[in-house]
Amino acid sequence: MSEFDSKKAEEKKVKIPSSLTVKKFGGILALPVNVVITELMKNGVMATINEKIDFETASIIAQDLHYEVAEDMEEFSEEMTLKKLNDLLKQEKKSGENLKDRPPIVTILGHVDHGKTTLLDTIRKTNVAGKESGGITQHINAYQVKKKGKVITFVDTPGHAAFSAMRERGVSLADIAVLVVAADDGVRPQTKEVIAYLLEKKIPTVVAINKIDKPGVNVKKVKQELADNGILLEEWGGEVLSSKISAKQNIGIDGLLDNILLLAEVEDYKANFSRDPLGVVLESHLDSQMGPVASVLVKTGTLKEGQDIFAGKVFGRVRRIENFKGEKIKEAFPSMPVSVIGFHEAPEVNDIVRILVKKSGVKSKIHDQHFENSFGSGVFSSQDIIKSITNEKIKKLNIILKADVQGSLEAIGQILNSIKSEEVAVDFIASGVGNITESDVRLAGNSQAIVYGFNVEITSVAKRMAENGKVEIKKYKVIYELVEDIKRKLSDMLPSSIEREDFGKMKVLAIFKTGKGDMIVGGKVVSGKMVNGSLIEVKRGEKTIGKGRLENLQENKVNVNEVSQNKECGITFLGDTKIKNDDLLLSYKEEIKKRQL
């Protein structure tokens, strides 16, 4: 077990389910995932962190590591999804028991560059846009504001096309959606995507027509485009409230907040403050001082310091709760976005945070379904091993991906999965949240992988190891720069294409000289032209019998570059093919071109 003390594993008994991810397997064995992957590779199993292996495969590896193995036959039923949570909240509201008013949860949506982030900046009086690399919001953020003594919770989501999964999650968490449309640009592709989702889910919506301070804007045209896509504003006889604003000039913001509160009053949002808490993980990351930190939106109940909690497969105890301002608080109520410190590792985005009821044995029953994310899923069985190794049709680019937060991993995975090719593919050897460490470098060296970091640093030890081991590490602060680099590397793996351009054909009428490796022949150009220096294909009837090169071209015993159709010429042919009368010589050129994805 190399650097790990094998004695610690002796006499250990573990239960392994019929199938499980490599990551969960590492958790069961209490070993780092890179050690498990290395052991799998030693046994010819090229499974990455997110792939599933069957019991047989896991059992062999565990026994090699001195574990006593039994198959866990329990069926788990403890999983809580976002859909189940929303259904539970609807039932809670219908019951009318112990309900109190809660703040509305609002998400701001819209096409990239339509001023969504600037609007949020204006509302909360901070400058987030200046901190975002490339000026694009790449994470989910949440905060609260107060208007007329009433609180509104805002959940921010990315606007760019590549972040559709994160954007859809933001909508599903929200009570109210604010759809930002630029008055000078109108309804754009991402706007249409959001509108379709809002209409499908029947989410209450307020439209914010932004950038009205710009000269020559046509608000009427924007309203018409909205109507054409199913959003009929109140002033046009519909039911959707709208506000004309300038986020940059702080115009119309109060009116927008008033419309949100008006809609919230109509919808009458309530929750049970006295029950055990249920919340949703918006984001998670590793902090160098505090450890795993999860951004959690409390949906119902009260989250308190000292509570034992779990989210997906991750457990912990609430050691500290901070509000969106970073202030320490003892309790978090419904609709509050908070940072929770106390998980033993960073939970997955979208996991539901719940109280751990020890007597129910929940901890022994939680399974790892949540890790079947955009990086792939499916069971890697022992029967697949040979197939996986021998499948050389697809060339794989091995990468290890480390990012600052789970949302970044999700977005990068989503973009890379959109790259379609039957010849090359990205193989995620491992992925995770946090800085690039020596274990990442060691795993990269064993698997010939490139380590990619997004908004993370490299430890000094890892940097030295990478230099000594010639492991390539690449860091980026803008997702699209990282993705473009991976796409370039994938393109370099594609075989070059050969493009042929035909010039013409000549019928051989006479043989003047037959040498060793060359011939001088004469004939007539029957189509196109013969080009000096071109490649030659020799055809006899319908069959190609050989290839060579046109070394010298003459017309009337004068050297020329080209001879056109219906003219006679003589050529020096370089090649081993023996040409005969009536053969056809095809003049052409080939160009090797680098292919792109």
CATH for 177: 3.40.50.300
400 in a domain, yes or no?
Answer: no
408 in a domain, yes or no?
Answer: no
* Residue 515 pLDDT exceeds 70: yes
How confident is the model at residue 71, as a pLDDT? 63
Same domain as 246, residue 147: yes
Cβ-based neighbours of 468, under 8 Å, separated by 6 or more:
none
Cβ-based neighbours of 51, under 8 Å, separated by 6 or more:
21, 22, 376, 377, 378, 380
Over range 114-143, report the average pLDDT: 61
166 in a domain, yes or no?
Answer: yes
Of 39, 27, 25, 30, whose CA–CA distance to 12 is shortest? 30
Q: How confident is the model at residue 102 (pLDDT cuts 50, 70, 90)?
A: very high
Q: How confident is the model at residue 474 (pLDDT cuts 50, 70, 90)?
A: very high
- Let me know: does 363 contact 357? Beta carbons within 8 Å: no
Indicate which CATH number applies to the domain containing 346.
2.40.30.10
How confident is the model at residue 393, as a pLDDT? 64
**Residue labelled with tokens 């949002």:** 269
13-17, 250-254, 426-430, 504-508: least confident range: 13-17
How confident is the model at residue 364, as a pLDDT? 37
* Residue 372 pLDDT exceeds 50: no
317 in a domain, yes or no?
Answer: yes
Over range 214-229, report the average pLDDT: 91
φ and ψ of 214, to 5 deg: -75, 140
Q: 117-136: string of b/e by CB count within 10 Å (b at 16+)? A: bbbbbbbbeeebeeebeeeb
* Residue 428 pLDDT exceeds 90: no
Last residue of one domain, picked from the residues 249, 268, 287: 268
Over range 272-301, report the average pLDDT: 88
393 in a domain, yes or no?
Answer: no
Which token pair is 443?
A: 């795993």
How confident is the model at residue 168, as a pLDDT? 56
Q: Pick 168 or 315 by higher pLDDT.
A: 315
How confident is the model at residue 245, as a pLDDT? 94
Same domain as 228, residue 109: yes
Domain count, the chain: 4
How confident is the model at residue 572, as a pLDDT? 96
- Let me know: does 211 contact 184? Beta carbons within 8 Å: yes
96-105, 384-393, 397-406: least confident range: 384-393
Same domain as 311, residue 205: no
At 128, which amino acid appears?
V
Distances from the Cα of 199 to the Cα of 171, 192, 380, 588, angstroms = 11, 11, 40, 59
Over range 317-326, report the average pLDDT: 90
Q: Indicate the average pLDDT of the chain.
A: 83
Q: How confident is the model at residue 472 (pLDDT cuts 50, 70, 90)?
A: very high
Same domain as 120, residue 14: no
Percent of the chain with pLDDT over 90: 46
* Residue 377 pLDDT exceeds 80: no
Same domain as 330, residue 209: no
Q: Pick 133 or 564 by higher pLDDT.
A: 564
* Residue 46 pLDDT exceeds 90: no
16 in a domain, yes or no?
Answer: yes
Distances from the Cα of 439 to the Cα of 5, 7, 443, 445, 458, angstroms = 16, 21, 6, 10, 11
Q: How confident is the model at residue 167 (pLDDT cuts 50, 70, 90)?
A: low
508 in a domain, yes or no?
Answer: yes
Domain residue limits at 176: 103-268
* Residue 202 pLDDT exceeds 80: yes
- Let me know: does 393 contact 421? Beta carbons within 8 Å: no
Q: Pick 421 or 130 by higher pLDDT.
A: 421
Q: How confident is the model at residue 432 (pLDDT cuts 50, 70, 90)?
A: confident
* Residue 74 pLDDT exceeds 70: no
Q: What is the pLDDT of residues 477-493, one digit of tens each?
A: 988 889 899 999 999 99
